[in-house]
Amino acid sequence: MRSRLPLLLLTGLVGLAGCDYLGIEATSAVHERRAAEGRAIGAGCRHAGRAIEDCYAINARADKAAVFAGWREMNDYMTENRIEVVLPEGEGPELATRGGAAGAEPPVTDRGG
């Protein structure tokens, strides 16, 4: 029994080390990926001239805090570099025309009771 214990432990450790190859992601990696995707979505929405509320509605499954962070970063970048909005093609006119103007500040919401 004693001679098999190290072999069993070694086999178990090798099996656990291979979890990365099975596609099992750590929760921190999943969180970082979702945050990066949310920031990219927000930046794309801002560059397309969409209001943050429209961006939330279109991307309901994305993390709202990350989407807002990306939207805000792109807003600041576009303001600093005087970049104009690129209107999206192939969408309904209501979404393409509702977007904010270049340099528009993000909306302030009253969260008070």
pLDDT tens per residue across span 57-93:
999 999 999 999 999 999 999 999 999 998 877 755 5
pLDDT of residue 37: 96
Higher pLDDT, 27 or 91: 27
| Overall pTM surpassing 0.75 (yes/no) | no
Residue 38 has pLDDT above 80, yes or no: yes
C-alpha to C-alpha distance for 40 and 37, rounded to whole angstroms = 5
Decide: 2 and 26 in contact? Cβ < 8 Å: no
pLDDT of residue 26: 81
CA-to-CA dists, residue 16 to 12, 23, 24, angstroms = 6, 12, 11
For residue 6 the two structure tokens come to 């190290």
pLDDT band at 100 (very low <50, low <70, confident <90, very high): very low
Angle between helix 27-47 and helix 64-81 axes, rounded to 10 deg: 40
Residue 32 has pLDDT above 90, yes or no: yes
For residue 36 the two structure tokens come to 């990066």
Longest Cα separation, the chain = 74
pLDDT band at 33 (very low <50, low <70, confident <90, very high): very high
C-alpha to C-alpha distance for 39 and 18, rounded to whole angstroms = 31
